[in-house]
Structure formats: C-alpha cells, structure tokens
Amino acid sequence: MKKEKKISTASEIEIEELYTPDSIADLDYSQDLGYPGEYPFTRGIYKNMYRGRLWTMRQYAGFGTAKETNKRYRYLLEQGQTGLSVAFDLPTQIGYDSDHPLSEGEVGKTGVAIDTLGDMEILFKEIPLDKVSVSMTINATASVLLAMYVVLAKRNNVPLDLLSGTIQNDILKEYIARGTFIFPPKPSMRLITDIFKYAKENLPKWNPISISGYHIREAGSTAVQEIAFTLSNGIAYVKAAIQAGLDIDEFGKRLSFFLNSHNNFFEEIAKFRAARRLWAKIIREEFKAKDPDSAKFRFHTQTAGCTLTAQQPENNVIRVTLQALASVLGGTQSLHTNSRDEALSLPSQESAEIALRTQQIIAYESGVPDTADPLGGSYYVEYLTNEIEKRAQKYIDFIEEKGGALWAVESGYYQKEIQKSAYEYQKQIESKERIIVGVNRFETERKEIKNVFKISPKVAQEQIKRLKAVRKKRDKEKVKDCLENLKKKALTDENLMYPIVECVESYASLGEICEVLRSVWGEYKENVLV
C-alpha cells in the first residue's frame, strides 16, 4: 500500500485527513474560546464585529512628490477608501534630506519624499484631518513625521484630540527584518516611549505604535514565528513604557499591531485568532491590566507582498483576494490589499482601484461580515489556533528567559531563525514540494506588461528645488536655536517630542533633525551574520 504523502502548513504543522471533537478535546470553551468582545478575545475584540462597523479600508500609497501622492489619496478617497496609509521613500525612512549624497537615486522611489513641514502641507492638502484616519509607516524617523502631522493639524485649526490614526514606530523589527534603523536600540526605545507619553498628553485617539509582524513574515518567517516574535517585541515595548512611568491601563488600549496575511488560508485565520488570545493573556496575567480594553489585540493586516509573482501577474488578484478574505475571517480592524503589479513596480492607479474593489466586494457582496467569527467552533480552525498558540508561546518563553526582545535582536537570534525558515521555504519551491502557480508549475511564456508605473527622474530635481526654496525662506536663526535646543535636551531625560515639534515648526528639515540626534547617539552598526 502506497504511503500517504505528509501534508503540512508553512509552519510545519502536520494536517490530518479529518478533524473531529477529539481533535480539540483540550480546548476549554469558556476560558479559551468564549464569545466575541469578551476575554480572551479569540473570536474577536468586538461583540458584533463587522455588523457594527466594517474594517477600515486603508490602501498603502506614496510615491514621487507630495503633490503626486496627494492626488492619489484624493482619488482613492473618492473611490470609497476609508483611511489613508502613507508610504515614505527610503531617504525619509532613514533620516536623510533629498539632496543628501546618500539619497541619490532613491528620492520618491519606494514612497513619498518628505523633507520639511512644507511637504507635509502639500501631502494632506484638501484632506480633512479630523475626519480621515491616517496611518504612517515610519519607524526610525517616526518622531519627526508625527511632529509634522501635529503641526499641520495646528496650522489647519484641527484640535489634536480629533486626530485619529497610527504611526508605526516599531524599531525592533527594523533591526530584525528591514534595516531602516538609524540609532542604537537604547535611544531608539527612548524615542518610542517619548511618543507614547506625548500621545497620552496630546493625542487621545492616536495609536502611538503599530507593532509589526508584517516585515518579519516578508523576510521569510513562518506564521508561528511571525506572531511569536511580534508579541515578544510587544512585551519589550510594554516593559519600556512601564519603566518610563506609564501605566498599562493608560497606554495599553492604544497599542496596535500589524500582521501579514499569507497564502495558507486556514493557517492565517488561526494565526490571527491565536495572536489575540496570546496577547490578552500576556497583558492580563503578566502585566496585571485591569481594564479589559488594555488586553484587546487590535491589528491592521496587509496581504503578502512576498507572495506576488512577476510571472502571470493577473494571478496576484486571486492571491490577494484569498489573503484579504482570511484577514476578514480572522477579525482584522483594518486592511490593505496589495495590487497585482507590485512584483514589477509601484502600483498603477488602475491596479490600486482593483485592490480596493477586492475589499469592497468582500464587504458588500460576500456575506462574510454578517456574523462575528463565522469559522469559530470549526474543529480544524480551533485545532490550528491551539497549535499555533502553543508553538508561539514556546518561542516567547525562550526569548523571555534569555533576556527578551533586545537580546533576540542583538544576539542575532531572530535573524537566524528567520533565515532558516526562509531557506527551507525556498528549498520546497525549488524542489516543487511547494507549488507556486506560474513559477514552478503551470508556467507560460512571460508576456510584456503594459502600463507599468515608473517614477520620473525629474521627481528628485523638483524635490531638491523645493527643499532649497524652504531653506532660503525660513528664519535661519530660529532653526539654529531650535536644533541647538534639541541637542541639549537629547542629553537629558526630557521628552524629545516637544523640541522636535519646535524644530518642525521652524521648518528645520528631517535630515537636520536626525543629524542632531546622530551627533548625540551615533548610528547603529548591524552585526553581519555568517
């Protein structure tokens, strides 16, 4: 008799032929499953989930100049998008102005170029800041970009307590998976807790961090590693905030997370459910939170960029649809759907519209949002949820025993684990053990793709010209005084958000502000793993 082939998820969870009540005999329905809106929130953080309000449809966008990006934002809002998500170019992410030598060839390429408050004014022109939720995917320079947004709101007479949105502000995952860090971990963590304090004092509706597993997954981790490493980072941020004098019930309810939605449909749904349960237990049991809202795992999801293929790019529409559906069935609070052509370039306007329509069809035509947690109680889904939770908990316990997330970053532990998983996944593709349609099976001759979006070389020239005009017009003495004050305060324990806001108000550039902080703290040099 031929031996049956072993089937497993991407996290190497072996899948049985059939699941029955015996498969989840160890599940405590009252303690581990419960009801939506009730601890431990396995089934969702709100009682009626999408019957009350749909998830925020927040398409990630940014390219070229602030003027071009503003045009795309207004178009997407006209098409029914309900939240904005800002992508910044590489120089903005790592604290260089557009005219810096290291910025050459990168201005406006992976997102919008923002040098000064003047660019931020153009970026959000004619966009009602008190009505639109804005997410900014920025980390090392999060304090500066948030300061720009705050000053912009003040200039437009928008009360700060009406601003809603999120700043990513998750530096630990930059050391792990992306590399757009500037400063060493300790001062970077200080900036993060300074933002926490500033938000508590000034921005009651703002999420001061989006703890991100997305980029960890994009770097090659499994689903289990994604939530284990993300929650370990979350624990580090909570500890840092408490050490800085904040109370878990003051800031816990404003923590948010950012997860990936990959191809294995049921594993992804179970991953989201397991993450909610794990975080609820961590916040209540380890950090002794009393407010139930502090233990709610609020998360944004983005479909998996690393699964998109340049071969047969039309297939990406189907991949994104499945990933988006898994996100909704998993209970996400907001969602970005990738565009079909992102393996080739920044998305065209037509592709971005199709991606948004994907969410709208799920929302208004599928019936999926009609009841909370429609897959809850499925023997298979509950088994996967339990298994992912157990495996992720083992990772979290190990990391905490060794010294926590900072140890995992500085020792290279995170990076090595991700590298191993990425290598195994790639071997499976190359051996055709794992099929990628159009790549290692069902291939066809590649067709030329029309209308690929490209950034004009003139973008950098225009951006540098505008930056020079701002420098010429501003009060140079005021800029100098503000930057000197920031340097002085960086040598103390004072909250740096306030002097950074003053620098931004004087039209000091992002590069100038970051250069001051570099002069005090230096730059982080990554350990190269062999």
Residues 6+ apart with CB under 8 A from 21: 379
Domains in the chain, please, with CATH? 21-33+47-430 (3.20.20.240)
Instruction: Reduce the DSSP state of residue 166 to 3 states and report it.
Output: strand
Per DSSP, the three-state class of 526 is coil
List all residues 6 or more positions away from 479 whose beta carbon is below 8 Å from its beta carbon. Answer: 503, 506, 507, 508, 512
DSSP code for 263: S
State how far the Cα of 190 lies from the Cα of 164, in Å rounded to an integer: 23
Buried b (16+ CB within 10 A) or exposed e, 259-272: bbbbbbebbbbbbb
Do 285 and 195 contact (CB within 8 A), yes or no? Answer: no
Alpha helices by DSSP H, listed for 349-496, are 349-365, 379-402, 405-410, 413-430, 458-473, 476-490
Three-state SS string over 423-439 comes to HHHHHHHHCCCCCCECC
SS3 of residue 500 by DSSP: helix
**Taking CA 281 as the corner, what is the angle to CA 401 and CA 326, rounded to the nearest 5 degrees?**
105
pLDDT in tens, 89-129: 999 999 999 999 999 999 999 899 999 999 999 999 999 99
Please report, for residues 44, 485, 486, 487, 514, the alpha-carbon distance to residue 492 in angstroms, rounded to integers and kept in the order given: 42, 11, 10, 9, 17
| End-to-end CA gap in the chain | 45
Q: Which phi and psi angles does 440 have, rounded to 5°?
A: -115, 5
Contacts of 465 (CB under 8 A, 6+ apart): none
Query: What three-state secondary structure class fits 300?
Result: strand
Strand ranges, E, within 208-349: 209-212, 255-261, 299-303, 334-336
Q: How far apart are CA 202 and CA 42, in angstroms?
A: 32
* Contact assessment for residue 425 and residue 434, using Cβ atoms and an 8 Å cutoff: yes
- Tokens encoding 510: 């992002």
Cα 228 to Cα 186, 349, 523, distances in angstroms: 22, 36, 28
Enumerate the β-bridge partners of residue 183.
none
Q: How much is the pLDDT for 448?
A: 65
pLDDT at 32: 86
- DSSP track, 94-156: TT--TTSGGGTTTTTTSSB---SHHHHHHHTTT--TTTSEEEEE-STTHHHHHHHHHHHHHHT
> Cis link prior to 499 (omega < 30° from 0)?
no
Angle ∠(61,63,68) on CA atoms, nearest 5: 100
Q: What is the pLDDT of residue 21?
A: 94
Please identify which residue in the block is written with the tokens 């948010």. Answer: 256
Residue spans of the chain under pLDDT 70: 1-4, 448-451, 527-530
Q: What are phi and psi of 310, to 5 degrees?
A: -75, -30
Cα dihedral sign, 314-320-325-326: positive
